[in-house]
Amino acid sequence: MARNRNNRNHNNRNQLAAKTTAKSTGNKLFPQLVEKTVTQTRQDIAKWKAALNGFNNTDSPSVYLLYNLYDSILDDALLTSQIENRIQDTLGSSFNLSKKGGDIDEELTTTFQNSELFNDLITHIINSRFYGHSLVELDWKQDGLNEPQLKADLIPRQNVLSKKGVMLFDYNEDKGIKYREVPEFGTWVLEFGKPGEKGLLNKAVPHTLFKRFAQSCWSELCEIYGIPPRVYKTDASDPAAVARGKKMMQDMGSAAWFIIDTEESFEWAKGVNTNGDVYGNLLNFCDNQNSLLISGAVVGQDTKHGSNSKEQASQKLLSKLVLADMAMVEMYMNTKVMPALARIGVVPADYVFQWEISEDLGTLWERTVQALQHFDVDPEWVKDKFGIQVTGIKQNPTPVPGTNLNVAESFFV
């Protein structure tokens, strides 16, 4: 039976190889986009409010200001790390591809396990939580002399009016195409997320902007606190004395000495009486809020009031969010991606995507040891599951610490 199944899989591979040269019909959306240069300007709360007003405009929505702001705040190291933690935890998990209700297709699973196509699709699906929406176009692309590979291009969110189902060729103009009405939609063009949603990043905007403000002010404080202003006293009514004083202060630079007239004086201004606690507290508050937003808890930042139990509880909350991301990925993969790939000819029809459930080997080992008191356990299963080479039954009985099991009743050596 196993040989027949392998033959069927081999036949499926041959059939798929003949289909992978299929091309999509009609014009591609991604090549029609007008590439734009995004200027780096100072962002503040007023610009965030203006971007929200444009996004929420019913008659003539404009989303590019908000998504440009999202790209800007992702320069923040903590926010990026929190998002990457969730994405990488999902990408690092193993999945299986199998016919619905059938055995796992090991060859097909191995082919796509670390493929660029599936990694990109999973990333775009998870990012729909943070951005609110993702529109992806599949296309065959060839790198050099290599065989063409199916790849997923993300349509820039600045160009997508998801509430109206319109993709703008230039986000500064109103000329576009209703992408849900093109024949390729659902096969070559895939949509993830809820139309009109702003995503979690919208809630991170004010905290990130306030954090930048606090960092800027704190850096200025460091400059003033480390090198207090210098005060030079002279006859302000004498232009020559004033000019001489300006030149003297410029020439002094970082030198520790200079010469002044006996009628003039020089002193250091009194420095500020704070070490920047007010800015540090604002920075910590903003970091904690973004950590709560993305990870569900303050994970790894609070070293002053942290504890092992607190970190463990935080990791459990983060794990629950990762599991929710994985459930969403599995849902979109089975309802949109796998049917689309089947129509393209990359996977057989009626194949499903499933995450591989990881086992707690510590708990399983304890249960195995307890089961040995009453049941026979397959040595091959023990070898495959725990990596223990079982060669026979040990005849000399010795007690196993922590259990009532006699090793003479087991087969471990």
| pLDDT, tens only, 236-288 | 777 877 777 777 777 666 565 565 665 666 665 565 566 667 888 888 889 88
Same domain, 253 and 148: no
Q: Could you report the per-residue pLDDT of 296-305, keeping only the tens digit for each?
A: 888 665 556 6
76-90, 189-203, 346-360, 388-402: least confident range: 388-402
Same domain, 102 and 160: yes
Residue 277 · residue 65 · CB < 8 Å: no
107-111, 272-276, 309-313, 346-350: least confident range: 272-276
Q: Could you report the per-residue pLDDT of 214-226, keeping only the tens digit for each?
A: 888 888 777 666 6
Q: Tell me what pLDDT residue 302 has.
A: 55
Does residue 181 lie in a domain region? yes
76-85, 115-124, 157-166, 211-220: least confident range: 211-220
State the pLDDT confidence band at 307, using cuts at 50, 70 and 90: low
Q: What value does the mean pLDDT of the chain take?
A: 79
DSSP per-residue codes, 7-43: HHHHHHHHHHHHHTT----S--SGGGPPP--------
Domain residues for 384?
Answer: 363-409
Pairwise CA distance, residues 30 & 91, whole Å = 25
Does residue 176 lie in a domain region? yes
Pairwise CA distance, residues 129 & 87, whole Å = 11
Same domain, 62 and 125: yes
Does residue 304 lie in a domain region? no
Q: Tell me what pLDDT residue 18 has.
A: 40
Q: Tell me what pLDDT residue 10 has.
A: 46
State the pLDDT confidence band at 12, using cuts at 50, 70 and 90: very low
Does residue 277 lie in a domain region? no
Three-state DSSP state, 95: strand
Same domain, 55 and 139: yes
Residue 108 · residue 97 · CB < 8 Å: yes
State the pLDDT confidence band at 117, using cuts at 50, 70 and 90: very high
Same domain, 137 and 234: no
State the pLDDT confidence band at 405, using cuts at 50, 70 and 90: very low
Percentage of the chain with pLDDT > 70? 73
Same domain, 369 and 248: no
Three-state DSSP state, 132: coil
Q: Tell me what pLDDT residue 123 has.
A: 95
Question: What's the number of domains the chain is made of?
Answer: 3
Structure tokens at 329: 């990925």
Does residue 369 lie in a domain region? yes
> In 10 A of CB 244, how many CB atoms?
15
**pLDDT over 90 (residue 119):** yes
**pLDDT over 80 (residue 21):** no
Same domain, 14 and 151: yes
Same domain, 147 and 197: yes
386 vs 115: which has the higher pLDDT: 115
**Amino acid in the structure at residue 60:** S
38-47, 73-82, 88-97, 149-158: least confident range: 38-47
| Total residue length of the chain | 413
Same domain, 135 and 250: no
- Count the alpha carbons within 13 Å of 224 in the hemisphere toward its beta carbon: 14
